[in-house]
Chains A and B, each alone.
Chain A
Amino acid sequence: MSEKTYKPGNYPDLPPPPGTVGVYGWIRKNLFSSISNSLLTILSVVLLYYLIDGIIGWFFFDAVFDADSKIACRKIDDGACWAVITRRVGQFVYGFYPEAERWRIDITFLTMFVAFAPLLYPDIPKRKWLLYFSVFYPFFAFVLIMGGYFGLQKIEYSLFGGFMLTVILGVCGIVCSLPLGILLALGRQSNLTVVRTLSVCFIEFMRGVPLITLLFVASSMLNYFLPPGTNFSILVRVIIMFTFFSAAYIAEVIRGGIQAIPKGQYEAADALGMNYWQKTRFITLPQALKISIPGIVNTFIGLYKDTTLVVVIGLLDPLGIGRAALADTKWNGLSTETYLFVALFFFVSCFAMSRYSLWLENKLNTDKK
């Protein structure tokens, strides 16, 4: 069959030749365009089938979701033994927080979203009222989690662990380090020598020291400086170190944003008679922060994942809880299941953060659209 030829002139709209459009067309063009490509496609499909079959089988079909021990799991089926997770899910989430008091963590966690909503989504209805709650929230959360007031049972920090510990460390670190980072960034750009020098020293020191060293300082050194008997909770010490560390990075990210603003804008602001704080509030920060969003979120995600480092000073974050679970003779050896579960948790939280930052960037990206 020869190809049809057309003479120059007007023709009605003709459909594209068959076999070049639609699913069939796509497959033919991308997967079976030549003999070698066809062979590769078939080979890949076969390989993928075996791989996915094995993985899905291990994850779901051959997996055991509830059993008393690893040995019991193996007797039922030879896939993943998720029983180590299902039997210990409470520990993974709450650490050793007493079971009867866990509702306090649930409430704190749920209300956290209410407190964050007006900060994260400016268009939310009744934002002003919600903002009052956001201001009040840290005290509320502290009292609820630690206890000791209003007839709530006091909970020792050593019982904290699991995802709850990660969220506490991560959220406190993130919330405290952003304002501190902004102040440091402004301080570093300041004309006042003392403020500038102090900011530079702080930033360079914190960035120059590995986080793990700071954590050891928090866990060991601080105790030597404080009089014996003062029980300055290790949790607070660690949060302070995380905040300082991440603030130094945030400060540098924001400084990049500040320096991206053309000098002409400052001169214009000066010409309008704005003072320093007005300039900062209306000219510098709105633009600098907008530019820095990806960098800031990047730092936050880094901080969030760095919370796993507390395991070296003996705090039981999800990774620590996982290791402790593996030390139980009943579950010894199920490291794949445990670490995958912890990885899933971190992926979900970090992915949510990164999606939010994309949304915010698009929302604020008014000039370059």
Chain B
Amino acid sequence: MKTKMLLAGVTAGVMFAGSVLASTLDDVRARGKLNCIINTGLAGFAAPDDKGNWTGFDVDFCRAVAAATLGDADKVNYTTATGKTRFTKLAAGEGELLSRNTTWTFSRDVDLSQTFIGVNYYDGQGFMVPKALGVKSAKGLDGASVCIQTGTTTELNLAEFFAGNNIKYNPVPIETNAEAQELYKAGRCDVYTTDASGLYATMMSFDNPSDHMVLPEIVSKEPLGPVVRHGDDQWADIVAWVLRAMMAGEEKGITSKNVKELAAKDNKDKEINRLLGKDPLQGLSKLGLSADWAVNVISQVGNYQESFEKHLFPLTIKRGMNALYRDGGLHYIPPIK
């Protein structure tokens, strides 16, 4: 009994110690660098270039947050994490921001005590087949062998989709994406299924990408977004508004090329003025950011469209659901006023 109480006391003490620490923003400013947790390598989202600089859609978001908080997009320490270690790394304080194509789900948000601050990429599970198979729809995949990564949500989605449509299939369980590529190329499975963004990346790695196609059916919802720890609302707001600032940039036509020019002059659209620090944005001081935060983000990293086109267009990924609402997509941000 005594030990139990002691343990409880220690646990409470540790949790308390965690909560009275300085704010995340102060930590980042004191260090002069943002610690950002990213993927160990996923085409288009996070990968090192030949010089060893991390680039990608998720990496851009780390850079954007660094630009907003520290004024310099290069002040980021990247910590790589696998799917299994990402949440513990965030919880343990090895990073202030998890920007690693993470699907927003109920239990990850609630049970793991994290805050998903928005969606920066709407993904969904799809199917890739060789064109030679002659299949035009996933419903025509009766009796097909399907390469599927074990222990992922995709496995369950697949089972549910095929059961729901009364289609039989042979699962070929595999461990990693690289293994799946080899098996699929060798013809061991007719179909490879994973998130559509991953399918496009895989397809681009083939010698003849045009021999393959991604079927139109998307069988699951995979909203991917950046994640921060519970408990520091100021930091969560900063990260959330950096994402929105990037999208606002696209919406208002502010790009890395013209942002300095727009920031210097008085624009007719007052929202641009408020975003770029020309007119006061009420409450900005509560975020602890300087007036030129959004200018830094857009000038150093670019707006959402620029980042998307730079990193995901080479993979032949289309805007689709990831277009702004006015273009028929799902990205709709609150007004900046």
Contacts and interface: CB of A to CB of B under 8 A. Distances in A.
A325 B79 CA distance: 16
B100 to A, nearest CB: 10
Nearest to B176: A323
Given A313-B82, A328-B48, A156 B77 contact: yes
Contacts of B5: none
A228 B17 contact: yes
A158 B77 contact: yes
Contact of A333 (B41, B86, B207): B207
Interface residues of A, number: 38
Contact of B80 (A228, A316, A328): A316
A229 B21 CA distance: 9
Contacts of A96: 48, 52, 78
B47 A220 contact: no
A320 B77 contact: no
Contacts of B49: 328, 330
Given A91-B52, A324-B40, A329-B47, A314 B80 contact: yes
B48 A314 contact: no
Nearest to A328: B47
B181 to A, nearest CB: 7
Interface in A284-331: 311-316, 320-321, 323-330
B88 A220 contact: yes
B84 interface: yes
B41 A326 contact: yes
Contacts of B50: 87-88, 91, 328, 330
Q: Is the interface of B mostly helix, strand, loop or mixed?
A: mixed
Interface in A309-363: 311-316, 320-321, 323-330, 332-333, 335
A328 B43 contact: yes
B81 interface: yes
Contacts of A95: 52
Contact of A158 (B14, B79, B182): B79
Contacts of B319: none
Contacts of B18: 228
Interface of B: 14, 17-18, 21, 39-44, 46-50, 52, 77-82, 84-86, 88-89, 91-94, 178, 181-182, 201, 204-207, 314-315
Given A220-B85, A329-B314, 20 more contacts: A91-B48, A158-B80, A227-B14, A311-B82, A312-B85, A313-B85, A314-B85, A321-B48, A323-B40, A323-B41, A324-B48, A324-B80, A325-B48, A327-B42, A328-B48, A329-B201, A332-B43, A333-B205, A335-B178, A335-B181
22 contacts: A74-B207, A158-B78, A216-B84, A227-B17, A228-B93, A313-B82, A314-B80, A314-B82, A314-B89, A315-B80, A321-B48, A323-B178, A324-B48, A325-B47, A327-B42, A327-B201, A328-B47, A328-B49, A329-B44, A332-B205, A335-B178, A335-B181
